[in-house]
Chain A
Amino acid sequence: MRRNKISIIATHEFKKVARTKTFVIITIIGPFLIFAMTVLPSLLNNNAEQFQEGSIISIVGGSDELIGDVRDAFSPYGVVVTKGRNIESLKKELVVNNTLQGIVEIPGDIMRIEAFNYYSASGTDYLYWETIKNIIGNYTINERLKELDIDTATYQSLSKTPSVIVKKMSASGEEEGGDIFSIIMTSISFIMLLYMSILLYGQMIGRSIVIEKTSKTIEILLSSARPDEIMAGKIIGIGGAGLLQYAIWVIAGIIIKTGIASTAIAIPSFISISTLLLLVVFFILAFLLYASLYAALGAAAENEQNLGQLAWPLILFLVIPMVMISTIVMNPDSLFSLTLSYFPLTSPMVMFVRVLVDMPQVWEILLCFFILIVSIIFSIYFSSRIFRVGILLSGKKHTLKEIIKWMRYK
Chain B
Amino acid sequence: MIELQHVSKQYGNLHAVEDLSLVAHNGEIFGLLGPNGAGKTTTIRMIMNIIAPDLGKILIDGTQITDSIKVNIGYLPEERGLYKKSKVYDMLMYLGRLKGKKDNELTSAIDLWLDQFSLLEWKNRKVEELSKGMAQKVQFISCVIHDPKILFLDEPFSGLDPVSSDFMRETIVTLSNSGTTILFSTHIMEQAEKICNRILLMNKGKSVIYGKLDEIKEKLGHKSVIVEFSGDGSFIERLPQVEHLIRYPKYVEITLKENSDTDSLLTQLVSKISIRKFEIVSPSLHNIFISQVKEGGDEYETK
Which chain A residues have a beta carbon within 8 Å of chain B's beta carbons?
Answer: 1-3, 5, 8-9, 12, 16, 212, 215-227, 392, 410
Q: Is residue B35 within 8 Å, beta carbon to beta carbon, of the partner chain?
A: no
Complex alpha-carbon distance, A221 and B77, angstroms: 11
Complex alpha-carbon distance, A16 and B85, angstroms: 9
**A217 contacts B81, CB within 8 Å?**
yes
Q: A5-B98, A223-B143, A410-B52 are in contact. List 12 more A-B contacts (CB 8 A).
A: A1-B102, A8-B97, A8-B98, A9-B98, A12-B94, A215-B79, A215-B81, A216-B79, A222-B45, A223-B74, A223-B152, A224-B70
Q: How far is the CB of B9 from chain A (nearest CB, A)?
A: 11
**B81 contacts A392, CB within 8 Å?**
no
Interface positions, chain B 75-92, Cβ under 8 Å from A, are: 75, 77-83, 85-86
Complex alpha-carbon distance, A1 and B104, angstroms: 9
Please, which residues of chain A bring their CB within 8 A of the CB of B81? 212, 215-220
Complex alpha-carbon distance, A16 and B90, angstroms: 11
Please, which residues of chain A bring their CB within 8 A of the CB of B121? none
B128-151 vs A, Cβ < 8 Å mask (1 yes, 0 no): 000000000000001100000000
- A to B contact number (C-beta, < 8 Å): 61
Q: Counting chain B CB atoms within 10 Å of each CB, which of A215, A216, A217, A227 scores highest? A: A217
**A392 contacts B102, CB within 8 Å?**
no
Q: How far is the CB of B137 from chain A (nearest CB, A)?
A: 15
Complex alpha-carbon distance, A393 and B74, angstroms: 21
**A217 contacts B48, CB within 8 Å?**
no
**B51 contacts A392, CB within 8 Å?**
yes
**A220 contacts B75, CB within 8 Å?**
yes
Of the candidates B74, B82, B143, B152, the one whose C-beta lies within 8 Å of that of A217 is B82
B interface, how many residues as a size bin? 20 to 34
Please, which residues of chain B bring their CB within 8 A of the CB of A224? 70, 95, 98-99
> Could you write out 17 A-B pairs with CB less than 8 Å apart?
A2-B100, A2-B102, A3-B97, A8-B97, A12-B94, A212-B81, A217-B81, A217-B82, A219-B81, A220-B95, A222-B45, A223-B70, A224-B99, A225-B70, A227-B50, A392-B45, A392-B51
Complex alpha-carbon distance, A392 and B67, angstroms: 18
Complex alpha-carbon distance, A218 and B143, angstroms: 14
Of the candidates A1, A215, A220, the one whose C-beta lies within 8 Å of that of B142 is A220
Complex alpha-carbon distance, A216 and B76, angstroms: 10
Of the candidates B48, B85, B99, B142, the one whose C-beta lies within 8 Å of that of A222 is B48
Complex alpha-carbon distance, A130 and B302, angstroms: 83
Q: How far is the CB of B262 from chain A (nearest CB, A)?
A: 48
Q: How far is the CB of A1 from chain B (nearest CB, A)?
A: 7
Complex alpha-carbon distance, A221 and B75, angstroms: 9
**A223 contacts B73, CB within 8 Å?**
yes
Given the known A-B contacts A1-B102, A224-B95, A226-B67, are A216 and B51 also in contact in the complex, defined by CB atoms under 8 Å? Answer: no
Closest to B86 in A: A16
Complex alpha-carbon distance, A5 and B68, angstroms: 12
Interface positions, chain B 103-126, Cβ under 8 Å from A, are: 103
**A216 contacts B77, CB within 8 Å?**
yes
Complex alpha-carbon distance, A9 and B99, angstroms: 11
Closest to B103 in A: A1
Complex alpha-carbon distance, A281 and B73, angstroms: 41
Q: How far is the CB of B178 from chain A (nearest CB, A)?
A: 20
**B102 contacts A223, CB within 8 Å?**
no
**A217 contacts B83, CB within 8 Å?**
yes
Q: How far is the CB of A406 from chain B (nearest CB, A)?
A: 11
